[in-house]
Amino acid sequence: MLYLYMLKDCIKHIIELIKSEFEDFVKVDIYRNEFDIQSEWNPQFPCCLIRVDSYYPEEYNESHQGVSYTGDLSLFVGIKTSSGKDGLELSEDVFHYFNNLIEENYGYIIKELLYVENKYGVEVYGIRISIHFKKLS
């Protein structure tokens, strides 16, 4: 039986989903402020980077332990404008993938797709997702 209830397991699951569905991405990982001007990180492109915006228990059992959780995530899709690929199109593909994804232990609610920036020849779009998942025992 799987125990997919910890946040790190949830993020790992999402990373694996994106890697298996979108072979164009060179890097799929946790967001570490790669797009900040003063960042020391050097992202590879195209990339899909995941930031956890919030995470909290949604339901509790009799012992006051969380049994289901909700989290808000931002997925940042970055692509070099010189690559000849369309960053908006790739972002829309990710958006629709999660909008249509049905899994037994996870629920995804797509909130929005937004333009983030285009600096230094890198186009970045953001996808905001709420995820709901249950602790399995």
Q: Tens digits of per-residue pLDDT, 75-120?
A: 999 999 888 889 999 999 999 999 999 888 888 999 999 999 888 8
Domains and CATH numbers, the chain: 7-134 (3.30.2000.10)
How many residues are there in the chain? 137
CA 59 – CA 81 distance, rounded (Å): 44
Q: What type of residue is 76? A: F
pTM surpassing 0.95?
no
Phi, psi of 68 (to 5 degrees): -140, 150
CB 111 within 8 A of CB 70: no
With CA atoms as reference, report the closest residue to 12 among 59, 70, 52.
52
pLDDT band at 134 (very low <50, low <70, confident <90, very high): confident
Phi, psi of 81 (to 5 degrees): -65, -25
